[in-house]
Amino acid sequence: MEIKSIILAAGKGTRMKSDTPKVLHKIFEKPLLGYVLDNVGNITTEDFVIVGHHAEEVSDFVNKNYKNAKTVLQSPQLGTGHAVSMVCPSLESYKGQVLILCGDTPLIREETLKAFIEYHNSKESDLTVMSTIFENPTNYGRIIRDNDDSLKCIVEEKDATQEQKAVKEVNAGIYILNWDKIRPAFSQLTSNNAQGEYYLTDIIAWGKKENLNVNAYILENSDEIYGINSRKNLAEATRIMNERKLSNLMDNGITIVDPTSTWISEDTEIGADTIIYPSTYIEGKNKIGKNCKIGPCAHLRGNVEISDNCKIGNFVEVKNSKIDHNTNAGHLSYIGDSELGANINIGAGTITANYNPITKVKSKTVMKDNVKIGSNTVLVAPVTLEEGVNVGAGSVITKDIQSWALALTRAPLRVLADWVKNSK
């Protein structure tokens, strides 16, 4: 059945204490909302993002990066149920399913969502909510079950009795519903509760009242629904995401010398037998080949493609660049907006000067196969070094160099015999 998603992202995120809307705070340079949209992308045909607080900034991000997503304004923000009701006019005659998630829950995996949907379908459910067990359930909505264990309702922390507060099964904030069955609920919700809000969670009790088939799917790995409400949560989510990524890489034949000091984004692919040395930070989307050595203390900043058998060593920063096989940049270099061929050696302290701060233009550096760059070279982009070019140490290269030439811009060495002795 067709699935569309609704992603709630209109809330304020007060506890972040930030001018940036909560869902645009980043993990490995990708906004939280980006994780959620990426994870539903392969499941849904269309995604509605509910925006409100800082609506313009959030909409900008969505519209620039996600073709299948639409933003829907919720103003004022009267609660999660009210938020979903904003989409009702757009889905008047829709007969498929709707997956509802929150924009501040970046750790949920596509596989988990698929299993959740499969459960919903196998139970022939009309409405399924994802739940999980928390030792400390404070602040979450509690899943209340009947004596026969069937789902009864969800009670928010602020509305819960002492007895209900003791319940450890909580609402993960993710729902799948058969839209035509549940849609009438959204015009019947009331704000008769402790927060005076229209609660999305009330659709459970509504479904029961309407004799619909309502179920809860218990998620075992509760890490996945970890929500971001504060800077501490953001750091913790980054740690969980990183740990998950490193473990996955190690399972696939990549050596991580020190998992406690290595940071690798979810969107980085790495080939087998590559070794990542300590204190390496890899953010954004990257592809690293087989048999490479990265770090210690390397920084890959996204959109980096490195082929097999390459070395990116100590204090080397690479951004938006393509590097072909057997190419080495061992020490203290910056490679930005560059295209490097195969069998290149980049000497220590080489800089691609890609940015003109006056015109604010970024330009490209191209090196063809077998180029050798002497230490402490500055390549002022745009510049192309054809095949086999050698650059003498300490040079500043400002124009294209033809194949197999030696290029150097070096003041002649002067040796003044006995100068030191005579100066005394």
Torsion sign over Cα 296, 298, 303, 309? negative
Give yes or no for residue 173 binding ligand UD1 (CB under 6 A): yes
Binds ligand UD1 (CB under 6 A): choice among 69, 72, 78, 329: 78
Q: Which does 79 bind (CB under 5 to 8 A by kind): ligand UD1, Ca ion, none?
A: ligand UD1
Give yes or no for residue 103 binding Ca ion (CB under 5 A): no
DSSP state of 34: H
Nearer to ligand UD1, 140 or 179 (CB): 140
Cα–Cα distances in Å, from 408 out to 220, 311, 352, 373, 377? 62, 25, 16, 10, 9
Q: Which stretch binds Ca ion (CB under 5 A): 56-64, 148-156, 221-229, 261-269?
A: 221-229
CA dihedral 340, 292, 355, 59 (to 10 degrees): 120
| Exposure letters 326-340 (e unless 16+ CB within 10 A, then b) | bbbbbbbbbbbbbbb
Backbone angles phi, psi at 223, to 5 degrees: -50, -35
Give yes or no for residue 11 binding ligand UD1 (CB under 6 A): yes
Rounded to whole angstroms, how far apart are CA atoms 43 and 223?
A: 21
Q: Which stretch binds ligand UD1 (CB under 6 A): 195-203, 300-308, 338-346, 353-361?
A: 195-203
Contact yes or no for 411/392 (Cβ under 8 A): no
Site string for ligand UD1, 204-233 (x = CB under 6 A): -----------------------x------
Give yes or no for residue 310 binding ligand UD1 (CB under 6 A): no
Q: Which stretch binds Ca ion (CB under 5 A): 22-30, 220-228, 369-377, 414-422?
A: 220-228
Binds Ca ion (CB under 5 A): choice among 207, 227, 271, 336: 227
Torsion sign over Cα 25, 28, 30, 35? negative
Give yes or no for residue 140 binding ligand UD1 (CB under 6 A): yes
Q: Which does 154 bind (CB under 5 to 8 A by kind): ligand UD1, Ca ion, none?
A: ligand UD1
Give yes or no for residue 141 binding ligand UD1 (CB under 6 A): yes
Q: Known catalytic residues?
A: 331
